[in-house]
Amino acid sequence: MQAAREAARRSQCTNNIKQLALAVHNYNDSHKVFPSRMGGTGCGWNTSGGNRGRLAGWIALFPYIEQSALYDQISGPLTVGATTFPPFGPEPWAGGYPPWTEQLAALKCPSDGAVFKAGSGSRARLNYRFSVGDSIYWAGVPAWQTGSNWGGNPRGLFGSGGCGQNTSGTESAAQITFRDIRDGSSNTAMLSERIFCENARMVLQGTAVGGLAGGAYVVPAGCYAQVDPANARQYLPSATLAERDMGFTGNVLFSGFNTVLPPNAPSCLSTTWWEDSTVVTPTSYHPGGVVLALGDASVRFISETISTGDPTLPEVYAGPSPYGVWGALGSKDGGETLGEF
């Protein structure tokens, strides 16, 4: 009976992620570009009257997942009590702005019970995430902040935005399009899932701080050193843990995933700053792996034993991924030849 129920939940999760992948396609049809994983209004931490460019890409996709009314509320000025918020609202972790507390079933996996337990006024809880491919170093930093393409155009399909906004409210500095997917859309990861972080100590839920070193050529294997050797399901008791889920915040830590370490492996940051080097793995309660949407909107179940190459090697910025089939699935133009996966 339990197996049958999980099979039904996984089927619903597969349908959810399929619809989200189709929403990305519909967005691209309208705007001729993929949505940013992170973008919005304003620049930098000292900006007032905006959201500091930290909105998750889901905001831009709301009109394509039957949430046009919510999008219209966000895209115009909104008065709550004595406060009038500007179009596209304040920071996505800010309180007092009702759209940031919306709990949307379309963004939740039915196998994750905790994601449905949000209390009144809680930040949005969600499971689904955007791929940054096998990029690690500063993959989450906006291009305008780094002065480079590390954040704006990672090796995956979703970059981070620039200053200001376009008609979607989440400007894409990289302007990533289907023509950039030189490896083929059926061979490139688009969306996957991650368990809501109810207990940051658990490997499937939390993210440890530390373990990533190497400057611009980050080596991901150090993430494994953050796991407790006495209990592989938890991080070390001494490990520093990153902040928990932040609703519609677009940083990789909260809205993205890498194809570096395998599904259900540990995740880690180089520092407590959200936007430094980041390895965030997809995780799920589906036995043995995670659901993944590819760039052509097809959906596959990816085993946690998928080939991940050599995690002791540093990341690359061009050419084939060092992280096996999984890394090759993440890169949009690595030139790899994929077999069965």
Higher pLDDT, 236 or 274: 236
Q: For residue 172, what are the domain limits?
A: 2-197+245-259+280-305+320-330
Position 133 in a domain = yes
153-211 pLDDT, tens digit each: 789 999 887 554 443 444 444 578 999 999 999 999 999 999 999 999 999 999 999 88
The span from the CA of 133 to the CA of 326, in Å, is: 9
Q: Write the CB contacts of 275 (distance below 8 Å, at least 6 apart in sequence).
A: 138, 140, 141, 145, 151, 251
Position 237 in a domain = no
- The pLDDT of residue 113 is 94
How sure is the predictor about 152, in pLDDT bands with cuts at 50, 70 and 90?
Answer: low
| pTM, full prediction | 0.92
DSSP 115-161: GG-PPTTPPP---EEEE-TT--TTTTS-HHHHTSSTTTS-SSS--B-
Q: Judge whether residue 235 has pLDDT over 80.
A: yes
Position 216 in a domain = no
Measure CA 35 to chain center: 12
275-320 pLDDT, tens digit each: 678 899 999 999 999 999 999 999 999 999 999 999 999 999 889 9
Position 234 in a domain = no
Q: What's the domain count of the chain? A: 1
Position 63 in a domain = yes
User: CB of 287 within 8 A of CB of 305?
Assistant: no
- The pLDDT of residue 167 is 37
Q: Which two tokens stand for residue 268?
A: 């880690």
At CB < 8 A and 24+ separation, what contacts does 320-327 make?
A: 321/134, 321/155, 321/259, 322/134, 323/134, 323/220, 323/259, 323/260, 323/261, 326/259, 326/260, 326/262, 326/302, 327/133, 327/134, 327/259, 327/260
245-266 pLDDT, tens digit each: 889 999 899 999 999 999 999 9
Position 337 in a domain = no
